[in-house]
Amino acid sequence: MDCCGTATVWAAVSRGSQNAARNDRELFVPGNPPFRQVGGSNFVSEQLIATELGYRIDPTLVLPSRWRPFYDDYNDIRSVEQVNPPAGSPTTVGNGQQGESYGAELTVDYRVTMVALRAGYTEIQIQLRAKPGSTDTSNGGNESHDPNHQFSFALVAGFTLALCLYADFRYVSRITNQSVPEYCELDARLAWQPTPKLEISIVVRTSCTITIRNLALRGRARK
């Protein structure tokens, strides 16, 4: 929907499903009894209902931007169930989890002569839990592998018609249930093209893991 001639608003609701894989229904470990894991013959497709709202300022402006909040509802999510509770073995694959995710994406562009900037931020929160009667104890840890926060910044600058700088910075927050620390990456390239058939460039690619908080905690523990 066009709003005031300079902005666009949209909304969407969609439904999706992920079909059951063969190894979810037919995998037995080990190959001969007694089994530690038995096939989930009753495993069905996982279900998703996704909703989103979007707002975009006219991209012809000097500072266009886009904002997209979203909310997703999950049901019949894959779980690991005890066949004979409270015995921990054997286990089978079931649909014993449900939950939701929500968040927003924001992107801002800035363009002037010979310079283009883009900054983006994404936040997502995922909450998965066992259904009543489920024996799964992972709390969605085996299904949720996404960072809660991501930030990116991109730059394209033309100093002259022959000399350009390209830079891309990205920050990703830690993934707690996967023990993946937060980190940042920077890619940059300075290119000089003296002739249409010749380009000389300097490329820098680097990444670092942010561990300052952990080091501070260890320092206090030693005291």
What integer pLDDT is reported at residue 216 of this predicted model? 40
- Greatest Cα pair distance, the chain, in angstroms, is 74
- Whether domain 2-15+50-77+94-222 has CATH 1.10.3470: no
pLDDT in tens, 138-196: 877 777 788 999 999 999 999 888 999 999 999 999 887 777 889 999 999 999 999 98
How many other C-beta atoms can be found within 10 angstroms of the C-beta atom of residue 151?
16
Structure tokens belonging to residue 141: 């840890």
Distance CA 203, CA 189 (A): 4
How many other C-beta atoms can be found within 10 angstroms of the C-beta atom of residue 93?
22
How many other C-beta atoms can be found within 10 angstroms of the C-beta atom of residue 159?
12
What integer pLDDT is reported at residue 64 of this predicted model? 76
Contact 172, 182 (CB under 8 A): yes
Query: For residue 179, how far is the Cα from the chain centroid?
Result: 15
Taking only the tens of pLDDT, the chain with its 223 residues reads: 555 567 889 899 999 998 888 888 888 898 888 889 898 888 999 999 999 999 988 766 667 788 999 999 999 999 999 998 888 889 999 999 999 999 999 999 988 888 999 999 999 999 999 999 999 988 777 777 889 999 999 999 998 889 999 999 999 998 877 778 899 999 999 999 999 889 999 999 988 876 544 444 334 444 4
